[in-house]
Structure formats: C-alpha cells, structure tokens
Amino acid sequence: MSGLGARDIGHRVVVRHWIPGGLTDLIGVLQAGAPQILAVRHADGTVHEIPTADVTAAKTIPEMPLRPVDVDQLFLTAALGRPAAETAYVGHWLLRASAGWTGRGNSLLPAGDPGMPVPDALQQAIDFYAERNLPAQAQIRLGSPQDEQIRACGWVDARPEQSDVLVMHTTLDHVNATPAYDVQVADRPNDAWYATAFDGPVPVVAPQVLEGAAKAVFASVSLDGQVVAVGRGSMTGHWLGVDAIRVCSGYRRRGLGTAIVQGLARWAGPHGGRRTYLEVLLENAAAMATYTRLGYREAYRYRYLTSR
C-alpha cells in the first residue's frame, strides 16, 4: 500500500519503490493515485507511473522553498529572453531599440559598469535614441544603485500614471501540472497566433522581437474552431521566461492563461528548465492572483525613467 490517496493529489511526495537493481526514491508531485498505479510528476515534467505493488513507503513532503534569486542576473536574463530588434552597448549597459514597440524593446538596461561616469553614459543613451527619433528611457530596477544614480542625473518617471512592473519567479515543478486544455507548442507562431496576441494590425517589428530569442516557442489553445489563448516562452540557461499571454475576451476566467503557463512549463522541463519568471503590472489584480496561485513570488520591481 502506498499510503497516499486522492486527498494528496497535487502535493509533493516522496515514493520509495523497487526498480530493477534495488530500491530508489522518487520526489515529485502526485498527479494520480489509482489503486494499482501512482503517477508522480518529476521537476523536469516527466510523469513516472509506479505500480503500487512496488511501493515500500510513500508520504507527502513540504513544498520546495524558493531559493533566493540573484536579481542582478535575472534582470539580464529577462532582457536576453526577449531581445530588442537593435542593440548597442555603453560598457556593460545595454541600449535597445525596436521602432518604438514596447518599453522593454526601446530602453536602456543599466546593468553592470558603464565604463565611464554615469552622466556621460546617459548622454550616449540620449544620443542613441535621438538618432532613432525615440525618447530616451531607462528600465531601472527599483532600489538598485543605478536607480539612485540615474535619478540623481535628473531623469524622472516616464509613466507616473502606471503601477510598478513586478518580475515574479518560481521553480518549474510548481507550474508544470497537466493543463486542463490541450496546449499546442510550436517553434514559430502562425497567423492565428498573431491574430489572438494582438488587437488590430501586428506591429511591423513585433515578429523580429518575439521570434528573435535563441530559443523561443509559442503556445496556443484552440476552442470552438479558433485560437482563443496564446503565450510565448523563451529559454535562457535554466530559466523559462513566460510572456505575451493573452486570452480572447469571451473565454476569460476559464483557466486558459493558467493552461498556457503550464503548457510552456511542461515544454521547458525536458529542455533543461528549472526555474521560471514572468512580468506583470502590479495593478493587474486578476493576473497577479493567477500567478500567485501558481506559486510565483516577487523577485524585483522596475519602472521606466526618462530624461527631462
């Protein structure tokens, strides 16, 4: 007898069982507990079916605590997960331009050493954006040294009416459960994916940005003969970045966004994924609630500053 029942489905468990050659322990999330089989989902997304006759001991264990995250490294990882159409460097600081589409794609990422006094580096950024008829903006991590340094040079909040952007993270085994819907994952987005991801015409530069990462995939769910939910995943090292989640208005509050995240997480596990991050506006209460239920927690916050 395994000692596990239906009440334990969805919880982390350890199962000691016989395999050829001896006993072994498997740690994962209990996905099913039929009388003859235990189905346990490993952190990499693989589901192991263990005959209960082979089980010698099994019990629930506490949730895996989130390890402290290196916020400086994650700040860079998120930028690599969604590269801009055009980039340049001032020392280690990254200048990004994407024909004005999205703040992330058209702002300075001040991470590391600019290799010169901060006012000089900022002037190079101003010149870079002026050449492209774009406002000079910087994506700054709140509370970072660069936040204080850039504000001290007279840069101010570019979007005072908008809430902070939260970057949230968790371990992959918190979010790689079996989705409630059939999630299709493709290496390239098709016209139906783009039609769901955008209201109206797709910005000319959007495909270059969304498809420009070293490893990106595009998830979708179809219902009633149409694509009704989409999302994008990108792998940078062991990190899965999740973005571009959108659910058609008539299909919201049905768990489709959750399914997209889970589908991307299940894709990432066999590709070396161990942790995942996403971004959400603090004012987006519905998305915040969904991501918190999935186990995501705040890593840091950022805002955009602009030169006067």
Q: What is the pLDDT of residues 29-47, one digit of tens each?
A: 888 877 888 999 887 778 8
Q: For residues 4 and 73, which has the higher predicted lDDT (pLDDT)?
A: 73
* Number of neighbours of residue 97 by Cβ within 10 angstroms: 20
Q: What is the pLDDT of residues 188-243, one digit of tens each?
A: 999 999 999 999 999 999 999 999 999 999 999 999 999 999 999 999 999 999 99
Count, in order, helices (H) and strands (E) of the chain. Answer: 7, 17
Amino acid at 122: L
Find the angle CA(288)-CA(290)-CA(291) to the nearest 5 degrees.
Answer: 65
Find the angle CA(31)-CA(176)-CA(253) to the nearest 5 degrees.
Answer: 95
Average pLDDT over residues 169-190: 92
Question: How many whole angstroms separate alpha carbon 230 and alpha carbon 196?
Answer: 7
Amino acid at 164: D
Quote the pTM value: 0.85
The residues facing 49 across adjacent strands are 39
Q: Where are the alpha helices (DSSP H) in the chain?
A: 71-81, 118-131, 145-152, 191-197, 206-210, 256-268, 285-293
Question: How many whole angstroms separate alpha carbon 113 and alpha carbon 98?
Answer: 24
Average pLDDT over residues 7-34: 86
* Number of neighbours of residue 113 by Cβ within 10 angstroms: 11
